[in-house]
A and B are shown apart, each in its own frame.
Chain A
């Protein structure tokens, strides 16, 4: 028997004796020490200084520096900027934030155009499994939700943004339910809630382990019902400004024809999502194909400041075996119902519902110190003992509550009700992003940013279930605020003149870039 199989056997043998064992929680000092030593955000050699732009002198990872300092696909003189479309609100991105924004802007009477890189709905939203945090139980409160999120965010969160997030949670849940989102319910009709890492009370609303799919299906259907104008396979490649610090539109590229489409817009909402496909520090990712940080690069070049651009979430439980599943997420919810993490010896090493940054760091520690399990493809991981869930809650629990997990692994002949699976942290979320105010507006006038592309709400570590909430709360806020602004302003000149000072700054700083950004798609053809 191989070490791999022996180790798996040890997990099975220890299951009964482990099932009721309590695991001590980390003290604040222990957590800080663990993060400092093992969290990828603390790895100095992965970071570089940004040499130009609003965040000049600050740090982020090499991959994001390359993106921010990248070459524009356009020059200030190049294209004819006659607009093909003139709209009140241009929304870039068709995930949960973009769709929520579109619905609100349209409802406010604005003329809306949505442009998406792939299809409407192709996003990280659709993949979200675990749930959406909303303080609904009588013991809970928005204030408590706030405090949990602040602790989870390493006390760095923008307080004003966070307060709006948690305060609007209940209203937003109602909005979704009224649109037909089917959250799991209790017998009495109340919303069923579950615990998440770092939360002091259960407050995750969910639809089995398909919460994001459910949200996205309904939001997409609502957008289509409203007949909102939609350009699919048309990513934005550059923002347009009036040359005086106001965003005035964008240049899209039709992926079918490679032709450019100029859009003049009174306001623009960037809901462009995250960065997982940049594979920061070589990590696999749980993100969808289009998560290449387009919004970051374009907003930055147009003059919008970023915040917390140096912090990323490595979700503790990304699959590492079989190889074809590397990086795919195993939902945290499975740990909230009792699945345990075990090293090669079959021993637990962390309380499973610590915050994600802490659990990920502990998994990395085990693997770095020789207590990981090696996969046939040479990856390292630790066990996630999912069969324990059925032991604790009765046979069939996994099948009933985690059909997505069951299905995904069964495609590779792994029965998660019988066998543990191997996991390792996977690049999951960009904690920071474009700096916004409480109306979702960036520091570039009339450019609003919502969802994962924005930063500040989650501080240095987002709690599980706060991003589905974020995209809807701030998508709606952005949609409302952008529509209102559009009713107050006129169309302004379309120029690319903001590229000139950016180019000059690069030259002055000696920045030579081989990256054209936004990159739009990961290059798996040439890099394997």
Chain B
């Protein structure tokens, strides 16, 4: 084992020293915090461990996921709890959706002033603002693609001066784009029909018999 160096970090208002080479979450455990509310998948996919953090040389803090951030000298960390933005009860429509479908539940999307705050707040590196603009012109497929890696941490909504909820709008656009994909999955539809018509029944009988004996 190599002997690790220590680094000084600040969590909230408290100063601590922890070994380097740890993630912020691992450092919290090291400091005796059992962590319940700010920890989830530990793999950068769930958004539970959202933090804002700042290094000594920086003027402004940046957003990050604590399980994906290494401690470093002077790092100042604040955990954020949950995403308080409201999720609208937004069912999928019966008819092919348009931007109006999105605006029906997330009308504030139209108010984007292109300030880029959401983009700079995204710990996943999504160009959120462009996604919002794509929704404004009604290209739901582009919006969907844009939000592929969204972990729903809600940072974008927290920083939006126009009170837009980009992550929630983005997820709704993704669901619309998925449910109303322009070309049907023909092979899948055929397979479902084959199964319900009993096309595999004989093969199943043979295989199940062989498998029971195996």
Contact = CB atoms under 8 A, between A and B. Distances in A.
Contact of B40 (A118, A174, A221, A528): A118
Interface string A197-208: 000000000011
B181 A225 contact: no
Contact of B36 (A159, A210, A521): A521
A404 to B, nearest CB: 7
B188 A173 contact: yes
Contact of A377 (B2, B179, B195, B203): B2
14 contacts: A122-B46, A127-B46, A178-B179, A179-B175, A179-B179, A180-B179, A221-B87, A227-B89, A288-B46, A289-B40, A324-B26, A524-B29, A525-B32, A528-B30
A323 B46 contact: no
A450 to B, nearest CB: 20
Contact of B43 (A143, A329, A521): A329
Interface string B54-91: 00000000000000111000000000001000010111
Interface of A: 118-119, 121-124, 126-127, 134-138, 141-143, 146-147, 150, 155, 159, 163, 167, 170-171, 173-174, 177-183, 185, 188-191, 207-208, 210, 212-214, 217-218, 221, 224-225, 227, 233, 255, 286, 288-289, 322-324, 328-329, 376-378, 403-404, 407-408, 411-412, 521, 523-525, 528
Nearest to A147: B207
Nearest to B211: A159
Contacts of B178: 177, 179-183, 218
B23 interface: yes
Contacts of B44: 404, 407-408, 411
A123 B158 CA distance: 25
Nearest 8 pairs between A and B by C-beta? A189-B183, A180-B175, A180-B178, A182-B178, A524-B29, A180-B179, A288-B41, A122-B40
Contacts of B89: 224-225, 227
Given A227-B89, A233-B37, A174 B192 contact: yes
A136 B36 contact: no
Contacts of A124: 41
Given A227-B89, A376-B2, A185 B185 contact: yes
Contacts of A225: 89-91
B117 interface: no
A315 to B, nearest CB: 13
B48 interface: yes
Given A122-B48, A217-B171, 19 more contacts: A126-B41, A136-B185, A141-B200, A143-B207, A163-B208, A174-B189, A179-B179, A183-B178, A189-B182, A191-B185, A213-B149, A218-B174, A225-B91, A289-B40, A324-B21, A377-B1, A377-B2, A378-B1, A407-B124
Nearest to A212: B45
Interface string B118-138: 000000110000000000000
Contact of B195 (A142, A150, A212, A525): A142
A138 B187 contact: yes
Given A159-B211, A377-B2, A412 B41 contact: no
B34 interface: yes
B33 interface: yes
A126 B45 contact: yes
Contacts of B151: 213
A190 B187 CA distance: 6
Contacts of A191: 185, 187-188
A183 B90 CA distance: 21
A266 B192 CA distance: 33
B186 A189 contact: yes
Contact of B200 (A138, A142, A213): A142
Contacts of B1: 377-378
Given A180-B177, A525-B34, A189 B185 contact: yes
B202 to A, nearest CB: 10
B177 A182 contact: yes
B43 A177 contact: no
A188 B186 contact: yes
Interface string B83-114: 00001011110000000000000000000000
B183 A188 contact: yes
B12 interface: no
A329 B43 CA distance: 8
A411 B68 contact: yes
Contacts of B17: none
A136 B174 contact: no
Contacts of A135: 191
Contacts of A170: 188, 191-192, 195
B29 A525 contact: yes
A407 B149 contact: yes
B20 to A, nearest CB: 10
Given A191-B187, A324-B70, A407-B125, A180 B174 contact: yes
A325 to B, nearest CB: 9
Contacts of A181: 178
A286 B188 contact: no
B171 A221 contact: yes
B67 to A, nearest CB: 9
Nearest to A285: B42
Nearest to B34: A525
Contacts of B39: 118, 289
A288 B43 contact: yes
A159 B208 contact: yes
B68 A408 contact: yes
Nearest to B206: A143
B129 to A, nearest CB: 19
A323 B190 CA distance: 48
A117 to B, nearest CB: 9
Nearest to A182: B178
A293 B45 CA distance: 21
Contacts of B69: 411
